[in-house]
């Protein structure tokens, strides 16, 4: 294992790694106190070597690493790739391609929903990874030998995990299933996040177009503020406060100060007038041009249908050894219960073949569920 701290050594290592069709990749980062993740360490491995890159070393240029990530001739293997890719996108404006995510592959092969890396390594290789440094401060320097070896192990074990999962996918004919998921993970749209869409991340439920208009503007303001200061969104304003402002739409500093969800005196801070201005922009928006609010489903039996679909989903998951989460979400089931043509993943591609058609058949009484010898079974009806 080499600890790389210079641009020249990094370029040489990336040139060697680029000669291999498959490499494994991992990163160590911090984001507790920042909006953008702080990249601290990068780990790479081929069948021949493993390298640990000090991304915070003085003067180091990561250009050759980013070029390797964009190399179409090299398959990059990650575990739970989204955050790693987000960092690379932010730093270099590229999305690694092609990639393979072992967490997604494990779900497709029935290892459970979003299985942790150490658990997957243990189940496949029998080795229990040392997680002593899981919560270490990767920004502190110098890096210790123990930290470097911990980082290295993440990508060396990943080689064995990838080999086992890839072989199993090919054996079961499910490689294409994973490829579909990789298309989403490698789409720039997944990472090109605009403040105008910040409201979509909030769990706040608004019921009126006016509330939605204010929510969009206030959430966008908070996002821009967090980005410009490079601090977590919650450092600017808590989610419940954003929702509270959307509901009450305070149009003056005085009205803003009456909201209990904001700290006392917050309205007199430099942000008070900015928030009021955001509220006023929201109220001035064309309500007809807003995204459509989800209407409450009128189907009085909707909840019961969803519960039956959950049983069918679990039965399908167990029968085919595929994590239920990767087949359908609860939101998918709720939408299917209300609309045969719902635009959800569960009614597309391999998921429709595996589960979606049966879900629609169950909904329309063409398929029933019964208990036979202590097990739930499906009963097809003419």
d(CA 123, CA 117): 10
Choose which CATH entry (1.10.150.80, 3.40.50.2300, 3.90.550.10, 3.30.460.10) describes domain 301-380.
Answer: 1.10.150.80
Is residue 231 over pLDDT 90?
yes
Average of pLDDT values for 210-239?
95
Give the global pTM: 0.85
Q: What is the pLDDT of residues 114-172, one digit of tens each?
A: 899 999 999 999 988 877 777 789 999 999 999 999 999 999 999 999 999 999 999 99
Residue with the bigger pLDDT between 254 and 193: it is 254
Q: What is the pLDDT of residues 29-49, one digit of tens each?
A: 998 889 999 999 999 999 999
DSSP string for residues in 274-287:
HHHHHHHHHHTS-G
* pLDDT at residue number 24: 98
Answer left, alpha or beta for residue 274, where phi above 0 means left and psi between -120 and 50 means alpha: alpha
Single out the residue of 166, 160, 47 nearest to residue 106, CA to CA: 166
Longest alpha-carbon distance in the chain = 72
Q: Are strands 50-54 and 38-45 parallel, antiparallel or unpaired?
A: antiparallel
CATH of domain 7-190: 3.30.420.10
d(CA 274, CA 225): 10
User: What separation in angstroms does the CA of 297 have from each of 197, 205, 240, 362?
Assistant: 24, 15, 25, 19
- Write out the two tokens for 214: 């204010």
How much of the chain exceeds pLDDT 90, in percent? 79
* pLDDT at residue number 301: 64
The answer to whether residues 92 and 66 touch, using CB atoms and an 8 Å cutoff, is yes
Is residue 237 over pLDDT 70?
yes
Residue with the bigger pLDDT between 201 and 101: it is 101
pLDDT band at 297 (very low <50, low <70, confident <90, very high): low
Question: Domain 195-289 - what CATH class?
Answer: mainly alpha
d(CA 338, CA 298): 8
d(CA 17, CA 51): 10
Q: Which of 216-220, 251-255, 328-332, 376-380 shows the lowest mean pLDDT across its residues?
A: 376-380
* pLDDT at residue number 20: 98
Q: What is the pLDDT of residues 250-275, one digit of tens each?
A: 999 999 999 999 988 888 888 999 99
d(CA 225, CA 161): 41
d(CA 68, CA 10): 11
Q: CB-based contacts of 270: which residues, under 8 Å, 6+ apart?
A: none
Do the domains 195-289 and 301-380 sit in the same CATH topology, yes or no? yes
Phi and psi torsions of 86, nearest 5° = -60, -40
The answer to whether residues 88 and 36 touch, using CB atoms and an 8 Å cutoff, is no
Q: What is the pLDDT of residues 313-372, one digit of tens each?
A: 999 999 999 999 999 999 999 999 999 999 999 999 999 999 999 999 999 999 999 988
DSSP string for residues in 190-226:
GT---GGGGGGG------SHHHHHHHHHHHHHHHHHH
The answer to whether residues 18 and 28 touch, using CB atoms and an 8 Å cutoff, is no
The domains of the chain are located at: 7-190, 195-289, 301-380
Q: Is the peptide bond before 98 cis (omega within 30 degrees of 0)?
A: yes
Is residue 378 over pLDDT 90?
no
Average of pLDDT values for 192-220?
91
Collapsing DSSP states into helix, strand and coil, what is residue 27? strand
């Amino acid at each position: 294992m080499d600890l790389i701290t210079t641009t020249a050594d990094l370029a040489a290592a990336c040139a060697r790694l680029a000669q291999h069709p498959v490499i494994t990749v991992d990163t160590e980062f911090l984001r507790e106190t920042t909006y953008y993740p702080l990249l601290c360490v990068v780990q790479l491995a081929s069948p021949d070597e493993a390298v640990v890159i000090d991304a915070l070393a003085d003067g180091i240029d990561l250009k050759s690493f980013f070029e390797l990530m964009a190399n179409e001739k090299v398959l990059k293997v990650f575990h739970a790739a989204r955050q790693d890719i987000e960092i690379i996108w932010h730093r270099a404006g590229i999305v690694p391609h092609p990639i393979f995510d072992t967490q997604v592959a494990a779900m497709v092969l029935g290892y459970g929903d979003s299985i942790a890396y150490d658990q997957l390594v243990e189940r496949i290789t029998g080795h229990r990874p040392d997680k002593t440094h899981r919560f270490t401060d990767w920004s502190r320097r110098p890096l210790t030998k123990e930290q470097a070896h911990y980082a290295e192990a993440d990508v060396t074990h990943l080689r064995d995990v990838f080999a086992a999962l890839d072989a199993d996918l090919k054996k079961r004919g499910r490689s294409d299933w994973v490829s579909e998921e990789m298309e989403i993970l490698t789409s720039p749209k997944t990472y090109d996040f605009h403040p105008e869409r910040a409201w979509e991340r909030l769990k706040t439920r608004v019921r009126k177009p006016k509330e939605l208009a204010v929510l969009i503007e206030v959430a966008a303001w908070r996002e821009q503020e967090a980005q410009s200061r490079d601090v977590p969104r919650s450092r600017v304003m808590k989610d419940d406060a954003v929702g509270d402002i959307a509901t009450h739409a305070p149009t003056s500093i005085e009205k803003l100060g009456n909201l209990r969800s904001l700290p006392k005196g917050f309205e007199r801070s430099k942000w008070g007038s900015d928030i009021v201005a955001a509220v006023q922009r929201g109220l001035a928006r064309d309500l007809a041009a807003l995204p459509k609010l989800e209407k409450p489903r009128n189907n009085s039996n909707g909840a019961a249908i969803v519960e039956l679909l959950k049983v069918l989903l679990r039965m399908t998951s167990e029968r085919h050894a595929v994590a239920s989460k990767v087949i359908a979400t609860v939101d998918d089931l709720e939408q299917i219960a209300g609309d045969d043509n719902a635009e959800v993943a569960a009614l597309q591609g391999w998921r429709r073949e595996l589960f979606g058609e049966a879900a629609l058949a169950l909904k329309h009484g063409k398929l029933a569920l019964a208990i036979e010898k202590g097990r739930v079974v499906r009963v097809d009806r003419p």
